[in-house]
Every structure is written in C-alpha cells, then in structure tokens.
Amino acid sequence: MNTEGLYTESWIQDAWDKAAAKVTSASARIGAQFPHGSHEGRFQFMPPHYWTAGFWPGLLWLVYQDQVQKDEELRQLAESCEEKLDTVLQEYERLDHDIGFMWTLTSVANWQITQNEASRHRAMIAASHLMARFNVKGQFIRAWNQPERVGWAIIDCMMNLPLLYWASKQSGDPRFRHIATAHADTVVKHFIRDDGSAYHIVCFDPETGERVSARGGQGYAEKSAWARGVAWAIYGSVLSYRHTGRTGFLEAAERAAGYFLTNLPEDRVPYWDFRLPTFEHGPKDSSAAAIAASGLLDMAAVMEGEQAEFYKGEALSILKSLTQQYTSDDTEEAILLYGTGNVPMNQNINRPLIYGDYYYVEALSKLRGHSSFWGPEE
C-alpha cells in the first residue's frame, strides 16, 4: 500500500507505540490462548474452535512484522496458537464458514511472513473445507452447521473469502476463486440494500436455491442495519474487488461505506445498530468502527485523486476518534473500549473485543506501510 507522505502525524506513531506495547505486555498473561471479550480489565478465553481464534495470533503477527528487532517470543506464541488449531481442522462438525477468519490470521499470516510450508499446507486444507460449504443451487457459502440452518448465509462471511482467493493463487486452481466470487455476487444481490445497509442473515431454500427470508441475527431487527454487518460489507466487498478486479464489488463497497459514513454519530463510532428506535441507551460498537476504518483504507488504496483522499480522510478521522476517546488505560488489558458483541444474545455488551483490537491495530499497521493478511499479496 502506498502511504508516502501521508501518515507522519505524531498521534499515529503514538497510537501504534501504545498498542504494540499493550500487545507485548498482554502476551505474558494471554500466551497461546484465545481471548474474546474483556471483563474487569482482563480478556476471557474461548476454545480454539471459536470464530475469534485468529485475532490474537493475528495481532501478534501485526506487531512482529513491524519490529526491526524481532521479538521471537511473539512469533512463537502466534505459531503455538496456529498449532492448537490443528485439532480443530480435524473436527469436521465443528468447522463452519469462519474458517477464513481463523486460518487467514494464523496460517496465511505465517506463510506471508516466514514462508513456512506447514502453514501453507494448513491454509490449503482450511480453504478446501470452506469451499466445500458452497451451495451450488443458491450460490452461497453455508454459514453455521445446525440442520435447520442449512440454507443460511451471513454478511460476515465476506471476510472469509480472501482465504479462497489466496488458495486459488497458491494452487493455480481457479475453483476457490470461482466460489468466492459467486458467493460475493450473491451477497451484492441479496444482502446489500440499495441504501448501502445490509441484512445480517439471508435464508435460502437449500434444494432450489431460492431466497426465502431474511433475519435480524446480531442486529436489532430484520430490516435494521447492524453496524458491524455494514462494516463487514464494506471491507469484504472491497477485498473481493481487490482480488478479482470486478467493479461491481467496488460499487457495493462504496454503497455500504456511504451508508456507514453518513449515519455515524459525531464521534465517528456507531451505535451497535444504525436503526435503533432510540439511541439513548444503545451501546456503541468500537469494533465496527475499527473494521470499517481498515476497509476504508483499502478503498483509498484502490482509488485515485479526490476519491482516494476522501476515503483516507474518513478512515483517519475514525481512527483518530478511536485513539482519543476509546482507547484504554493501564488497568485494561485490551486496547479498545466499548465494543458490542451480540446484543440479542446479551453477550459482550460495552466491552473490549479482541476483533476490535485486531482491526484497529491492522489499520494502524497499514498506515505504517504494511499490507494486510487478507491480500492480495503485493
């Protein structure tokens, strides 16, 4: 990514230094475990098959790749997390669409940084499992595994597609890319609305492939606009554009970004859903802001002139607000405060979330000239 002359402001350097120091000091307690939400200043851990398993090793890799003097302890912890995921790769029934989040930030990251052949092999197995979830009739990648959800797809899955694009490049076999592109086409057609907001869940008839209904999922309601879902739509769509060059995906990213940006409150960090009946008690979701900011930087990278400046400016203004108003002090292990995981399930509301931290640090890392692990490799 070309960052020439853009990101010399001191707040960016300070934000990076503070975040990298937090990751390093937290690594002493977290080790090779899998943090998710933070409670009373400390991350709580999940088993390795949970969808968030890649974010901590991903953070370790982001910090490691930036270091001049490499802290090999960070690399070893990231590799230990990756090795722990090996048992998950064998548990077929527990694998779902989130394979992309999990192995992109572990094995693909490791492969990109160290060219470790074992990591490449793991990521190819993961990509094969992900590809196998494709429903040919409905042209979508199946989300979860419950029998009653056999025809469900979700907006988050846009972020799993880079693993398939990567696998096509690695293997020279276009099938992975064909499936990723077909799924992304379905998302543009059925998930991203004309105004740029997005459904979380769309249900298809798994036999005929017809669209049957939509569901609110982690959002407030079927027709609401779950903030993180819109952020996934922005970032996932621009990634599909970067990997395929198909302008329809860039237009979808612009539509979703337009909705996200015009509906942000003054501090540039959204409430957990853009269409709540009242925002009086609605918690914010700093993770949605971080994901969107990182995606907007990718949009800036593929655009030119005023458009590129616009998306860069928006990303920087979100990141500045997160840095100034949402970062924690030394009593908290996580970096970003006030994320919202899942309001309908009453989980992790107004809490730091590992993926909020990941995307915030990823965006700062881009400002320092690094490419992300979602590719395409430059």
Whether residue 166 contacts residue 111, with contact meaning beta carbons closer than 8 Å, is answered with no
Residue 51 or 220 with smaller CB distance to ligand GLY = 51
Residue 32 or 353 with smaller CB distance to ligand GLY = 353
Rounded-to-integer distance, Cα 196 and Cα 234, Å? 9
**Binding marks (x or -) toward ligand GLY, 50..89, rule CB under 6 A?**
-x--------------------------------------
Q: CB of residue 51 vs ligand GLY: minimum separation in angstroms?
A: 6
Q: Show the DSSP H helices in the chain as ranges.
A: 10-30, 55-66, 72-90, 99-103, 109-114, 117-131, 161-171, 175-190, 227-244, 247-262, 286-302, 305-321, 354-367
Q: CB of residue 228 vs ligand GLY: minimum separation in angstroms?
A: 5
Residue 104 interacts with ligand GLY (CB under 6 A): yes or no:
no
Whether residue 312 contacts residue 333, with contact meaning beta carbons closer than 8 Å, is answered with no
Work out which of 107, 160, 218, 321 binds ligand GLY, going by CB under 6 A: 218
Residue 112 or 160 with smaller CB distance to ligand GLY = 160
Residue 228 interacts with ligand GLY (CB under 6 A): yes or no:
yes
Of residues 105 through 134, those in contact with ligand GLY by CB under 6 A are none
Q: CB of residue 52 vs ligand GLY: minimum separation in angstroms?
A: 8
Residue 156 or 273 with smaller CB distance to ligand GLY = 156
Whether residue 332 contacts residue 38, with contact meaning beta carbons closer than 8 Å, is answered with yes
Residue 186 or 218 with smaller CB distance to ligand GLY = 218
**Binding marks (x or -) toward ligand GLY, 143..182, rule CB under 6 A?**
-------------x--------------------------
Q: CB of residue 95 vs ligand GLY: minimum separation in angstroms?
A: 15
Q: CB of residue 229 vs ligand GLY: minimum separation in angstroms?
A: 7
- Three-state SS for 56? helix
Write out the DSSP string of 69-93.
Answer: S--HHHHHHHHHHHHHHHHHHH-GG
Q: Which sequence positions are flagged as catalytic? A: 98, 156
Whether residue 276 contacts residue 227, with contact meaning beta carbons closer than 8 Å, is answered with no
Q: CB of residue 140 vs ligand GLY: minimum separation in angstroms?
A: 16
The tokens for 104 are 């992109």
Whether residue 204 contacts residue 264, with contact meaning beta carbons closer than 8 Å, is answered with no
Please name which of 256, 254, 233, 135 lies closest in space to residue 187, comparing C-alpha atoms.
233
**How, if at all, do strands 134-135 and 42-45 pair?**
unpaired
Of residues 252 through 281, those in contact with ligand GLY by CB under 6 A are none
Rounded-to-integer distance, Cα 160 and Cα 274, Å? 24
Residue 15 or 289 with smaller CB distance to ligand GLY = 289
Binding-residue total with ligand GLY (CB under 6 A):
4
Report which residue's Cβ sits closest to ligand GLY: 156
| Backbone dihedral angles phi then psi of residue 38, each to the nearest 5 degrees | -105, 140
Residues near ligand GLY (CB under 6 A): 51, 156, 218, 228
